[in-house]
Structure 1
Amino acid sequence: MNEFDLLFRRRISFPANETISFERLNTVLERTALAIPFENLRVFEGKRDAVTKNYLIDKIIVNNEGGLCYELNAILYLFLMQNGFDVRLTRGITFKSDTQQYVTLGKTHVVILLRYNDTTYLVDTGFGANLSLNPLPLSGEVFTSTNGEFRVKKLSDGPNDYAFEMKIKHKDTDWKIGYAFDSSYTFTDLDECNEVQSTVIEHPESTFNKHPLITKLTDQGNVTLTDTSFTQWVNGDVTKEEVDIVTFKELLERHFGIRK
């Protein structure tokens, strides 16, 4: 076991001496979601670093930060590859439920495709609190976790052939599209994550370059912090409070382990 493998396991509280089987991937995804927040603080602060393995280790493991999809799924991709899984990265385009349209930024959502026993699965730990916590086959089969119901649906037309769909527990009554992706387009070079990062930082319609956003799943729901509010979902009950700069920093450290 190399140092990166050991450090990532420690970050998500996964046993150092356990061989990770396909059947244990749901546990890896659950512990990753509980340990590492989805957050845009460096983007909001205007910081730009090349997305490399060393950068991801320093940011997410050493500094105890989180990240956006091109960081969270990139480090998970490296970890899964280190543990012998057949994985590649691909890019998706997110769907806005309020306008019923795909975003104009293009394919800025980075996800993992995993091949196991002649079946391809979608693996994603970088979609905010909308995480399936399971590898999802591209067959339409519905998987249920503590976070809701999830599936990958075949699309009949357009440049993307599959869509990730969800019904988040306590929030959704109908299926919602999260994003669409082209399963035939994959990559292994993290340089492409830098293209996504540039769009997220620079595009005028990017939602991540305007206000800080930090969210993470918990054992009982999820927590979300912005520069104006702190929201908690606990077993279906929601509370929301206003925050200022002082309480923002306090909540950031208390609930997400990030110091600013």
Structure 2
Amino acid sequence: MDVDAYLARIGAQRPAAPTAAALAELHERHATSVPFENLSVHRYEPIVLAEDALVDKIVRQRRGGFCYELNGAFAALLRELGFTVSLLAARVYRGEGRFGSPFDHLALRVDLEEPWLADVGFGRFARRPLRMTACEAQPDAEGEFLVLDAPDGDLDVRYNGEPVYRLERRPRLLADFGPTCWWQATSPDSHFTQQLLCTLPTPGGRVTLAGDKLIEHVDGKRVERVLAGREIVDAYREYFGIDVNEAPSPGVFPAAGPRPFPN
């Protein structure tokens, strides 16, 4: 991996040592530089869960991705910098006391003097890592987070009092997430096939492009406007640093079930 190129992509300096402070800086730089986006799903681009492919997409292509891509690449960067990293599977909260399927989400455990939860791939989430052994609220620029013990030895992560996901403690391999990643990117029942989304934190809040709607949260105020044609292309470049030749449009996914990616 070209570590210097990856660090330049997120505007970070190479840390002198793998410390908690260094992890926090890298995490925040990544979370505020690399957008959470699902353009590949709607442009029918294969999503390859291999570290070199993920890093190439983020660094050379200057794209973003969803959890498997963003946290998969970030884990590779951290390991190159001397951190001890494990991939963890999580089930996203779906409401009414229900959680999604295993491998619904990929998050990271980083072991230093104590274990830290790192997650740059959930969309709106903590900008800095969370202590995994703390029972008290952990303030962050995005809000207040809690990491609590859950049934069967799992951990529950809460954001502003609401459940976010249930996290396993067992380390996984990147390949373990392949089948669910494929389902998320191809099934008409997946949240990612139902909406075209690109979002990134900003110093004053957050900017999101949902289809043709540009939504800006600045100092607690929401401003929304509908874009068209070249305005959408320009918005991807201006707000997210993503170059597209034409305005992406949501894909059409067959109701019969998940489809294969084209060869």
**Which TM-score applies when normalising by structure 2?**
0.86
Q: Work out the CA distance in 2 between the residues paired with 1:133 and 1:236.
A: 20
Deviating more after overlay: 67-76 vs 105-114: 105-114
Q: Work out the CA distance in 2 between the residues paired with 1:243 and 1:20.
A: 43
Which amino acid in the other structure matches residue 192 of structure 1? Answer: D
Q: 1:252 Cα deviation (Å)?
A: 0.8
- What's the CA shift string for 1:124-154, capped at 9, x where partnerless? 1111022242232233232212111112111
Mapped contact 2:204–2:217 kept (Cα < 8 A): yes
Change (3 A) 1:163 1:132: farther
The aligned residue for residue 248 of structure 1 is: 232
Describe the SS at the equivalent of 1:164. Answer: strand
> Is 1:186 the equivalent of 2:171?
yes
The aligned residue for residue 129 of structure 1 is: 124
Q: Work out the CA distance in 1 between the residues paired with 2:228 and 2:222.
A: 20
Q: 1:196 Cα deviation (Å)?
A: 2.9
Change (3 A) 1:245 1:163: farther
Question: Runs of at least 4 residues of structure 1 off by over 6 A?
Answer: none
- What's the CA shift string for 1:178-224, capped at 9, x where partnerless? 110211x212x322232232121233321101221000011111111
Describe the SS at the equivalent of 2:191. Answer: coil
Q: Work out the CA distance in 2 between the residues paired with 1:250 and 1:237.
A: 23
Q: Work out the CA distance in 2 between the residues paired with 1:211 and 1:82.
A: 34
Mapped contact 1:231–1:239 kept (Cα < 8 A): yes
Which amino acid in the other structure matches residue 194 of structure 2? Answer: K
The aligned residue for residue 150 of structure 1 is: 145
Describe the SS at the equivalent of 2:23. Answer: helix
Q: 1:228 Cα deviation (Å)?
A: 2.9
Which amino acid in the other structure matches residue 165 of structure 1? Answer: R
- What's the CA shift string for 1:44-85, capped at 9, x where partnerless? 222214221221122100011001000110111111111211
Describe the SS at the equivalent of 1:141. Answer: coil
The aligned residue for residue 98 of structure 2 is: 101
Describe the SS at the equivalent of 1:64. Answer: coil
Change (3 A) 1:26 1:85: same
Q: Work out the CA distance in 1 between the residues paired with 2:102 and 2:20.
A: 32
Change (3 A) 1:236 1:86: same
Q: Work out the CA distance in 2 between the residues paired with 1:216 and 1:136.
A: 23
Q: 1:102 Cα deviation (Å)?
A: 2.1
Mapped contact 2:31–2:127 kept (Cα < 8 A): no
The aligned residue for residue 30 of structure 2 is: 32
Which amino acid in the other structure matches residue 178 of structure 1? Answer: V
Which amino acid in the other structure matches residue 84 of structure 2? Answer: D
Query: Number of residue pairs matched?
Result: 244
- What's the CA shift string for 1:135-178, capped at 9, x where partnerless? 322332322121111121111x3x561111112xxxxxxx0111
Write out aligned runs for 1:20-99 (5 A). 20-97=18-95, 99=96
Q: Work out the CA distance in 2 between the residues paired with 1:236 and 1:35.
A: 21
Describe the SS at the equivalent of 1:209. Answer: helix
For structure 1, the residue ranges without an aligned partner over 5 or more in a row are 168-174
Mapped contact 1:36–1:216 kept (Cα < 8 A): yes
Which amino acid in the other structure matches residue 159 of structure 2? Answer: M
Of 201, 209, 213, the residue aligned with 1:229 is 213
For structure 2, the residue ranges without an aligned partner over 5 or more in a row are 245-263
> Is 1:165 the equivalent of 2:151?
no
Mapped contact 1:160–1:181 kept (Cα < 8 A): no
- What's the CA shift string for 1:76-126, capped at 9, x where partnerless? 1111111211211011011134x55323x5432000012222x32211111
The aligned residue for residue 250 of structure 2 is: none
Mapped contact 2:116–2:129 kept (Cα < 8 A): no
The aligned residue for residue 115 of structure 2 is: 120
